[in-house]
Amino acid sequence: MTKLDGVISTLGPSGTDSAHEARKHCSNVVLFPSFAAAVEHAEQTDGYVLMPTGYLDFQNGRLADTWVDMHFRLLGRMRIADVWESRTKTMCLAINQERVAHRDSIRSIALHPATAVFARQSCAGAETRFVSSKPLAVQAAANGSVDACIGSVDVVADSNLKPIDYFHPTMVWALYRKEH
C-alpha cells in the first residue's frame, strides 16, 4: 500500500498497534478512545478509518462488539478501500516484580481481548481483566492493579515491568472510506 493523502482515524492511545500501523501509511493520524468514535470522525471529515480484523471489545466482562459486527453496521455508509496483512509490534507477557517473582505466581493479568490466546498459553490460571488497548493493559500492570499484562514491548520498556515471554503475530488490517 502506498502513502495516503488525507487523514486516518483509528484507535488510541499512542502506542496501539492501530496507531503504529496507520502511521506507516499516512502522516496525518488522529487517535480516538474507540473505533466507533474513529468511524464517526472519518465519516464527518471524509477521511479513512483503519481497523484490525481482530477487533474485539469487551464491556463489563461481556463481548460488546467485534470487527465483523462493525463491518456489517458500516454497510452502505463506508466501504473497504484496502486490506493487507502486517506484523504487529512485538508483544510480551510482562510482570510487575513488586507483585510477583515469576510466571508461576501470576494470579491476575490485564490484556486486550484479541491477545487472550497468549495469556491462555502463558498463564492459563490467571484471572483475566480485559481493557480496550494493550497500552492500558501495561498501565494496569505498572500501577499494580494486576500482576501481569500482555503488551507491546516498546510500551512495556517505558514502564517498571519485566518482559518474560515474547510474541510476534501478524494482523489483517481493513482500511475504510466513506461511500460516495
pLDDT tens-digit series, residues 110-144: 999 999 999 999 999 999 999 989 999 999 999 99
Predicted model pTM: 0.86
Residue 134 falls inside a structural domain:
yes
Q: What are the tens digits of pLDDT across the range 42-71?
A: 999 999 999 999 998 888 878 899 999 999
User: Are 159 and 111 in a shared domain?
Assistant: yes
Q: 1 pLDDT exceeds 80? A: no
Same domain (yes/no): 66, 96: no
Q: Find the domain containing 163 and state its range.
A: 91-167
CB within 8 Å of 174: residues ≥ 6 apart? 50, 51, 52, 53, 67, 71, 80, 82, 83
Rounded CA gap, 47 and 9, in Å? Answer: 7
At 142 the pLDDT is 98
Q: What span, in angstroms and rounded, lies between the C-alpha atoms of 155 and 15? A: 6
Percent of the chain with pLDDT over 90: 89
Using an 8 Å Cβ cutoff, are 85 and 92 in contact?
Answer: no
Residue 3 resides in a domain: no
CA 176, 179, 180 angle in degrees (round to 5)? 135
Q: Indicate which CATH number applies to the domain containing 151.
A: 3.40.190.10
- Are 60 and 97 contained in the same domain? no
